Structure 1
Amino acid sequence: MIIERIDTTNFRNSPKNSLELSANLNIFLGKNGSGKSSVIESVYLLGFGRSFRTNKLSSCIQHDTDSFSLFAIAKPTAASSSFEYFKVGLSRSRTKEFLCQIDGERGKRLTELVSLFPVQLFTPQSTDLILGSPKDRRRFLDWGVFHVEHSYSQLIRNFKTVLKQRNALLKNRNLDLKQVSIWDQKFCDLSSDLSVMRKNYIEEFKPIFSEIQAKFLSEFQVELEYNKGWKENESLVDAMQARFSSDRHMGITSVGPHKADIKFKIAGRDASEVLSRGQLRMIVAGLLLAQTKAFNAKTGSTSIFLLDDLGAELDESRRELFLDELVKTNAQVLVTAIDKEQLKFTNKYDNKKMFHVEHGSVKEE
């Protein structure tokens, strides 16, 4: 997918912006606090339906206005697509009303919108993928499977519904064991399907990541270990039975795909114990790039890659290597920097646009 144009109204500190983007590289320059990250954030919203900077979408509404809106014209890159262009939009009001439309049709599910925009994000906080909670790593994994397996979205929705129902039963003082047994069977069936999809994706992903990390950090060999959410040599039925008493006491289901995780190891040790902050950033860059390549290979389409403050904790040679590899994937790239010096190596790229951001206003140079 390529975004040809994006319009924002009352978004963050900007009353209105209208940007015509390059299909390849887009560079946004400006001082800290100028509004560069808000440009990245608006595109991120199309790909995720939420912000990466706040849990409250109301914070994205410009002061003294009632709502913000985003509108984009995008062009599919997959050869199989029957559409020439998509016109999409979303808005959010202070009363929490959220509207999403695709080609003029309102009331679309958010998953329909985000499935159109395979967006990846790299920021100074992206090391949370390794240093953060298992939830961050499950989110990374689910992004990959969601964008290559059409049935995954419905599968994970069904799983979350069953998990919620089982937890509600566990919290009920008058526990009906017959009801628990029925929901346990549904839980195990969905868990099996979910875990198979995730594991297959990881196995296809590993060699792509291994090749990239050899370029990005050749002095180390990072191994990925997938934990499906219960012991490898134990059936889920046995795991649930063994923990039933404690789960009943806590009112939660303590094993299953919702507890899955990915571990990053170097010679048996956690990568976080071995690598510096800058090295961790390069490993995360490699992970995201590998996911982009896996998406390209599986779908025949290209992704949108957002790089916010690329200069943070990456020296010039690593910035250049990362951006070079990204450009090779034909991804549409949006990158922010404080000044041109941080990205002076981009002079070698032909198909690019430069934008200057000041006080929320974005102008093409």
Structure 2
Amino acid sequence: MTVFGGLSAPCLYLPMPLKQLRIQHIRNLTNVTADRLSRINILYGDNGSGKTSVLEAIHFLGLTRSFRGNQFRHLVQEGETRALVFAQTDSLGAGQVKPLGVERSLDADVRVRYAGESLDAAALAELLPIQVINSDTFDLLDGSPGIRRQFLDWGTFHFDPAFIRLWRGFRRILKQRNSLLKCGKIDPRVRQTWDAEFVHYAEQMTALRQLYIEQLRPGFEQALSALLQGVEVRLLFSPGWDRKRGLEALLTENLERDLRQGFTSLGPQRADLRFKTGSLNAADRLSRGQKKLVVSAFRLAQGALFHRLNNRACIYLIDDLPAELDERHCRQFCEFLEASANQCFITCVDPDLLSRVWQPETDVALFRVESGTLTHRGAPGDQT
């Protein structure tokens, strides 16, 4: 068993976030129940059977939306006006199972109830931390800085509870400053007031992002050394401005350009993650397969760090893993998952490979997905 994140053997008993799941009116899933969830859950079936829809339903449970697009109407089953996902969850790892329900209608009404109490979006995301690994995820290196900021902010949000307050405050200040810039003229005293607030939030947000990356880097390097031997990739953080110079002075220096453009050109809203191979961006040097391994190492490191810092599991939603990685790297990836403390839902067409890679003592369940139905097929050894 590969050593990863301080774990050298499969976790034999860990409280898993999701114990039971009920899905109503999500894509082709009319009324589906899964009541024997395990730590490793393999969902298999033909293309179009509803495997990815189950992952979407779990993502909806944690974030009230799909990971496949922002149009909620595409998630709701045709002819229906609302979607509902209900779970019995021990998301805090305290041995106390509580009900969680998320309902959303086409008129944008969202209801979240946990143990009889209403939750807002931030509290829900904190309660049920979710990691998605699918074909879009593997575009992390080639995608826009905004995509990488989402990865960064997921980790920082779960790293320090102060981050969401700072992020919200900064977004409010940024919106106000950009609004003033679009007017074309700003009273110097008004600008100085907003710039001081801008810098206040920017520096604190950036300090937390930087600290998170410093905590993440050792796990990333460890996972990468096993998945991608012989290739060194450095993980760097770019804050969005030259921190050797004061941000307030840079805002003043760039004011004329910002006025012409109508938006603020420097700050945390321009932050980025950099993956370097030698002096080059990894995206320009690595093959498609190597890039997938870099992203895999990054995501595995995020989950391991989350558990180490919070002593609770997050949920991995992994869509068609055998199609994204070759057999050797798929096995290694699963070894890391097995040695971690997280709950996993993995889809595939043919469960043969994913049924063979686990240790006998690992808690694994197979679910057959067929025409919008979900059937528990037991553990891999139960199959004939």
Give TM class, smaller chain.
over 0.9
What's 1:86 paired with? 98
C-alpha distance in structure 2 between counterparts of 1:225 and 1:148, whole Å: 18
Q: For residue 374 of structure 2, what is the amino acid of its counterpart?
A: V
C-alpha distance in structure 1 between counterparts of 2:185 and 2:140, whole Å: 41
**Structure 1 residue 190: Cα displacement:** 0.4
C-alpha distance in structure 2 between counterparts of 1:77 and 1:92, whole Å: 24
TM-score, normalising length: structure 2: 0.90
Does the alignment pair 1:24 with 2:39? yes
C-alpha distance in structure 2 between counterparts of 1:31 and 1:234, whole Å: 56
SS in 1 for 2:77: coil
**Structure 1 residue 174: Cα displacement:** 4.9
Does the alignment pair 1:210 with 2:221? yes
SS in 1 for 2:321: coil
The partner residue of 1:45 within 60, 64, 68 is 60
SS in 1 for 2:243: coil
What's 1:96 paired with? 108
C-alpha distance in structure 2 between counterparts of 1:274 and 1:161, whole Å: 38
Q: For residue 166 of structure 1, what is the amino acid of its counterpart?
A: R
Q: Superposed, which structure 2 residues align to 1:85-164 within 5 Å?
A: 85-106=97-118, 108-164=119-175
SS in 1 for 2:33: strand
Q: Deviations over 1:26-66 (max 9, x none)?
A: 00001111110001111112333321111111211111111
Q: For residue 13 of structure 1, what is the amino acid of its counterpart?
A: N
Q: Superposed, which structure 2 residues align to 1:1-365 within 5 Å?
A: 2-78=17-93, 81=94, 84-106=96-118, 108-346=119-357, 348-349=359-360, 350-365=362-377
C-alpha distance in structure 2 between counterparts of 1:114 and 1:363, whole Å: 28
Root mean square deviation, CA, Å: 1.5
C-alpha distance in structure 1 between counterparts of 2:335 and 2:251, whole Å: 48
**Structure 1 residue 342: Cα displacement:** 3.8
Give yes or no for contact 1:320–1:345 (8 Å, CA) kept in 2: no
Runs of at least 5 residues in structure 1 that lack an aligned partner in the other structure: none
Q: Deviations over 1:104-130 (max 9, x none)?
A: 223x21111111111111112212211
Give yes or no for contact 1:188–1:237 (8 Å, CA) kept in 2: yes
Q: For residue 73 of structure 2, what is the amino acid of its counterpart?
A: S
TM-score, normalising length: structure 1: 0.95
C-alpha distance in structure 1 between counterparts of 2:79 and 2:59, whole Å: 24
Give yes or no for contact 1:122–1:308 (8 Å, CA) kept in 2: yes
Q: Deviations over 1:176-202 (max 9, x none)?
A: 322111111000000000000000111
SS in 2 for 1:233: coil
Give yes or no for contact 1:134–1:260 (8 Å, CA) kept in 2: yes
C-alpha distance in structure 1 between counterparts of 2:358 and 2:161, whole Å: 39
Give yes or no for contact 1:58–1:96 (8 Å, CA) kept in 2: no
Q: Deviations over 1:219-238 (max 9, x none)?
A: 10110121100023222112
Q: For residue 331 of structure 2, what is the amino acid of its counterpart?
A: E
Which is further off, 229-238 or 255-264? 229-238
Give yes or no for contact 1:356–1:364 (8 Å, CA) kept in 2: yes
Distance 1:148 1:41, change over 3 A: same
C-alpha distance in structure 2 between counterparts of 1:94 and 1:274, whole Å: 44
**Structure 1 residue 150: Cα displacement:** 1.1
What's 2:13 paired with? none
